[in-house]
Amino acid sequence: MPLGERISIKTERDEQQLFNVRAIVAALLVACALLAIVGRLYVLQIQSYDQYTELSEKNYQKRIPIPPIRGLIYDRNGVQIADNHAQYVLEVVRDSVPDLNNDGKKRWADLQLMLERVNKIVPLTEKEIRIFNQQVQRRSRHQPTPLKENMSNEEVARFAVNKLRFPGVNLERRMQRYYPLRNIASHVIGYVGRIDKRDLRRLDPENYAGTTHVGKVGIEAAHEDRLHGYTGWQTVEVNAHGKHKGSLSKTNPVGGQDLILGLDINLQIKAETLLKGERGAIVAIDPRTGELLAMASVPTFDLNLFVDGISHKNYKNLRDDPDRPLYNRALQGSYPPGSTIKPMISLAGLYEKTIWPGKRVYDPGFFQLPGHKHRYRCWHRSGHGSIDMNQAIAKSCDTYFYDMAYRMGVEKFAGYMNLFGFGEKTGIDLTSESRGLMPTPQWKKRRHQQHWYPGDTVNIGIGQGYWLATPLQLAHATATVAMRGKRIRPRVLRSVRTAKDQPETLLEPDVISHIPTQNERHWEMVINGMINVMHSDYGTARSSGENSSFIIAGKTGTAQVFGIAQNSKYDAERLAKRLHDHSLFVGFAPADNPRIAVSVIVENGGGGSKVAAPTARKIIDAYLLDRYDEPVDEEEGSEALNLTRRLAQ
Amino acid sequence: MISELLPSSVLRALQRVDLVLLAAVSLLMFMGMVTLYSASDNNTPLLYRQGMHFLAGLVLLLLFSQIQSKTLKQFAVWAYGLGLFLLLLVLWVGVTKKGATRWLSLGIHFQPSEIMKLAVPMMVAYYFAEKPLPPRFLDIIIALVLVLVPMLLILQQPDLGTSLLIALSGFFVIYLAGISWWLMGGAFAIMAISAPLMFFYGMHEYQRQRVLTLFNPEQDLLGSGYHIYQSKIAIGSGGTYGKGWLLGDQSRLDFLPERNTDFIFAVFGEEFGFLGNLFLLGLYAFIIWRGLWLASKGADTFARLLGGSLSLTFFLYLLVNTGMVSGVLPVVGVPLPLVSYGGTSILTLMTAFGMLMGLKKRKRVYQAEE
């Protein structure tokens, strides 16, 4: 049969059957395809459900940090040192600014019109407008952009009254650190500043997510952990454009701890006032606990300058000031300790059996190394004659100590001085402490590629040469002597509390070590020499010890800034003030029951007995006899006192 | 009884409506409205317009269900001819939006390719109706030409998605007419080979991008991958039972784009979960099955071929849309049939269902003629 004919036959029944077969096959394919889609949905909705739920939550849940309120700082008598002040900021949410010029669109022109109208209520500077215009373009339409910071109370009030006229412009309250004492104790307190890139590397990003400021130096930095607290979190629902739609959950922040410092602000003011006009440092420690009673470094600076980012000009002025106000002399200043360390050297001599209490040395006014012609001069040019340890301390005989150091040798000498903490950080709870320098032959080799000469040992015997100590180290070593060898780590923090109505937790004294002696009575012998400095008729600081209500143990010191050539006479008149000797003093009182140990250094102040000793006496009297009120020369000093009085009430 | 209350002409008209299919379609429309209520965040004007689309669609369904197969067959040539004319007109004076010229402006903007969705299967069915089946090779070639001419015209606009869908609706007729399995297998083989060539030489850059995006949507999250990424998250996070009606985070918070129209399936999947999807797909399967069943009860060859093709095309829309939204097929602008917002698609589909019902073999009702 030809092909064409077969096809030409057309029957309804065959075609119906043909269609049915095709339709059934199609239906099966449809079923398969639908099952494939079901399989796909199974994968998405059942197998990968967790993964997509997470992605979905990531989409619409946003965690917003709630920064904790920073802990406050008080002195030991409850005077507030650091406070948080409310600061008001104007913020603009661009999307919420309405169509002001009624052109049917919310555009740039509306934003500018808004700025113009705000300007009539709260004056905006050109710089504020420029920065705002830059920032607003970079942010999402739903994110707030700051417009004006540091608003005055009047501006806040004026805007608050007109608030309803400015939809989209919000008045936000922020906490800002405030230091009511301004430039008092600024080096100890330190300051907070905006978190910068370097801070970000060490801070926990989770806990600092909402925090803008962090302690930069001083107690603010050293106790950052206690002061900061724990960030709270709010989970909000956001839409695809970042707009907040509601709150899902919230954990409250835990505020930072309040710090109560060992500092006595009245004593601090006294110390700073006494140094006014000079450059220098005073450190006062309670030897029984190691608490820092005062730490003055003069000149000082106003802390509040730093809180919101110091201006370039202000910083330049502080940085380039030849008196270096930013520099904490008490903690970072390294000075030759001079004669102030003679009591400690005496203890070293007694321990190493280089001397004994009755040992006498003849002082012709100088010391010579065997076989050398060079004369190491005593400050008393005609010499003290035959002298024992007690007198050597009281009269500050250099020859006695040249001889002792030379015979002891540098290794034993430095080793014993290390026991007092010289050459290492005291570990006080403040940042950027200097370790000073306790020189050894190894150190000299490393640092100067030179051998240690016997003359180097002779020089450190009177606290000169390479030896450098910080005023804090001196006060710490003096406190250790006062405690008869019990070395307690100095610290600024006295106690903490979680809130104003909570009980304080007092910190226990941190005893580092006990300094070994051959005989415990050696302490009394050396302290006796220090008492004679103040109260004997031959003591170098006898004028400062006169009429004291209690017995003071002290030691003067004079540190050479400038090497005086052989056989030339020191002429204070002729030398510029910068080349004058540093005036030093260390001491504690009462001698038998010490409650305060101090070190005083006045840069280029001249002899220790003339400047530093009387200053120390005033500090000790102020603290022990509550004589803070003694007339002070400077106007500002009394003003500061009145300020603290007001704050304490 | 209702029959006593209504005039007999209306009663007769209603008898021609397949109530089973109408019920299924109505249920689907109801589910669509419910989903749209959530997707559009209770956008009342939008819901009202969609309601009007459905009412208009129902009127069209009733209207076309009255048209017998032999009457409809006579329309086929006219509809096809009109469609071709309008497609040429589009190339001549069409309105251009987003780089594509698809619209004619007749007061409202209107897409002639929409006519072709019905006219092409009608025309091919019409052609085969008079020919002996299975079709001869020559007839297949002629049928192919009937399909390819409008397809190429639409491709010129350019509108790849629609042109492919229209071509497939024509191919369905050829398949149902009984094209030999060998020939069909060969055609598939050629297509499989030419697909890569097509990808590299025959596609626009944006089309190629869509295909690439399909395989790796995370690669381009801010661009074309964003739609697929977010719709997969929406569906996936729906889980077994769904987040509940009006509680879909992805759609409620604007993460899901085009959620009233092409991506409404993701809203449904997010809010009603895997079980909801099973029900929805089951309902679709039932409608497709009922459509094929009606087609097989068609009055003549034309009725069977057209009905079968319309049912399969309905399935094709479903497959392309759900495949796209669940991330297994490229993004082509195909709505989820009868659920997505949009008048044109609903009117076309309801017309098609009306036709399906009208094509069914009529029982002679002698009593009515008395």
Query: pLDDT tens digits, residue range A465-487?
Result: 899 999 999 999 999 999 999 99
- Reply yes or no on whether the pLDDT at A568 is more than 80: no
Element (H, E) at B306: helix B301-325
User: Does the distance separating the beta carbons of B312 and A30 come in below 8 Å?
Assistant: yes
Residues of B in Cβ contact (< 8 Å) with A26:
172, 175-176, 292, 308, 312
Nearest CB neighbour to A26, from listed B277, B278, B312: B312
- Reply yes or no on whether the pLDDT at A645 is more than 60: no
Rounded Cα distance, A430 and A329, in Å: 13
Rounded Cα distance, B249 and A52, in Å: 12
pLDDT over 70 for what percent of chain B?
Answer: 94
- Reply yes or no on whether the pLDDT at A279 is more than 80: yes
> Looking at residue A647, what is its pLDDT?
45
Cβ A552 vs Cβ A618: under 8 Å:
no
Q: What is the per-residue pLDDT across B168-217, written as a single tens digit (0 to 9) for each? A: 999 999 999 989 899 889 988 998 888 888 778 777 777 777 777 666 66
Whether the CA torsion B65, B69, B74, B80 is positive or negative: it is positive
Average pLDDT over residues A577-581: 72
Residues of A in Cβ contact (< 8 Å) with B295:
19, 23
- Which of left, alpha, beta for B338 (phi over 0: left; psi -120 to 50: alpha)? left
Kindly report the nearest CA distance between residue A28 and chain B, in angstroms. Answer: 10
CA-nearest residue to B266 within chain A is A41
| DSSP assignment of B199-252 | IIIIS-HHHHHHHHHHH-GGGGTTTTHHHHHHHHHHHHHHTTT-S-TT--HHHH
Q: How many CB pairs under 8 A join A and B?
A: 138
Q: What is the per-residue pLDDT across B59-104, written as a single tens digit (0 to 9) for each? A: 999 999 999 999 999 999 999 999 999 999 988 888 887 777 788 8
Give the list of residues 6+ apart from residue A170 with CB closer than 8 angstroms, or none.
A90, A91, A92, A93, A144
Q: What is the per-residue pLDDT across B35-67, written as a single tens digit (0 to 9) for each? A: 999 999 889 999 999 999 999 999 999 999 999
The most confident of the ranges A23-37, A120-134, A540-554, B146-160 is A23-37
Residue A447, judged by CB atoms within 10 A of its CB (0-12, 13-18, 19+), counts as exposed
| B178 in A contact zone (CB under 8 Å) | yes
Q: Which two tokens mark A263?
A: 């500092």
- Reply yes or no on whether the pLDDT at A565 is more than 50: no
The more confident residue out of B122 and B362 is: B122
Confidence of residue B3 (pLDDT cuts 50, 70, 90): low
What is the 8-class DSSP label of residue B336?
P
User: Does the distance separating the beta carbons of B278 and A27 come in below 8 Å?
Assistant: no
User: Does the distance separating the beta carbons of A45 and B269 come in below 8 Å?
Assistant: yes
Interface of A with B (CB under 8 A): 7-10, 12, 14-16, 18-20, 22-23, 26-27, 30-31, 33-34, 37-38, 40-42, 44-46, 48-49, 51-53, 55-56, 59-60, 237-241, 245
The residue of A20, A22, A32, A48 whose CB has the most chain B CBs within 10 angstroms, and thus the best one to mutate to test that interface, is A22
Beta bridge partners of B360: B298
Walk me through the domains of chain A, giving residue ranges and CATH numbers. 63-261 (3.90.1310.10), 265-314+329-490+511-565+581-648 (3.40.710.10)
Average pLDDT over residues A547-558: 91
The residue of A7, A21, A41 whose CB has the most chain B CBs within 10 angstroms, and thus the best one to mutate to test that interface, is A41
Predicted TM-score (pTM) of the model is 0.72
CA distances from A395 to A529, A571, A611, B90, B115 (A): 9, 22, 17, 116, 119
Tell me the angle at which helices A12-42 and B301-325 cross, rounded to the nearest 10 degrees: 10
Interface predicted TM-score of the whole assembly (ipTM), two decimals: 0.92
Query: Of the ranges A141-150, A587-596, B118-127, B131-140, which one carries the lowest mean pLDDT score?
Result: A141-150
Rounded Cα distance, A197 and A72, in Å: 26
Residues of A in Cβ contact (< 8 Å) with B296:
16, 19-20, 23
Strand-pair category, A505-506 with A493-497: antiparallel
Nearest CB neighbour to B250, from listed A30, A37, A56: A56
Rounded Cα distance, A514 and A522, in Å: 14
Average pLDDT over residues A583-597: 93
Residue A549, judged by CB atoms within 10 A of its CB (0-12, 13-18, 19+), counts as exposed
Residue for token pair 């300007």 = A119
Helix (H, G, I), strand (E, B) or coil at A489: coil
> Looking at residue A606, what is its pLDDT?
76
> Looking at residue A649, what is its pLDDT?
40
A339 catalytic, yes or no? yes
Catalytic choice (A48, A186, A249, A339): A339
> Looking at residue A637, what is its pLDDT?
42
Rounded Cα distance, B10 and A163, in Å: 67
User: Does the distance separating the beta carbons of B296 and A22 come in below 8 Å?
Assistant: no
- Reply yes or no on whether the pLDDT at B317 is more than 80: yes
Q: Where are the domains of chain B?
A: 2-369
| DSSP assignment of A267-303 | HHHHHHHHTTTS-EEEEEE-TTT-BEEEEEEES---T
Strand-pair category, A232-238 with A191-194: unpaired
Please name the amino acid found at residue A549.
S
Kindly report the nearest CA distance between residue A138 and chain B, in angstroms. Answer: 18
Cβ A623 vs Cβ A596: under 8 Å:
yes
Please name the amino acid found at residue A255.
G
Residue for token pair 């215009």 = A133
Q: What is the per-residue pLDDT across A320-368, written as a single tens digit (0 to 9) for each? A: 888 888 889 999 988 999 999 999 999 999 999 999 888 899 999 899 9
Rounded Cα distance, B5 and A634, in Å: 113
User: Does the distance separating the beta carbons of A41 and B277 come in below 8 Å?
Assistant: yes
> Looking at residue A476, what is its pLDDT?
96
Cβ B254 vs Cβ B239: under 8 Å:
no
Confidence of residue A267 (pLDDT cuts 50, 70, 90): very high
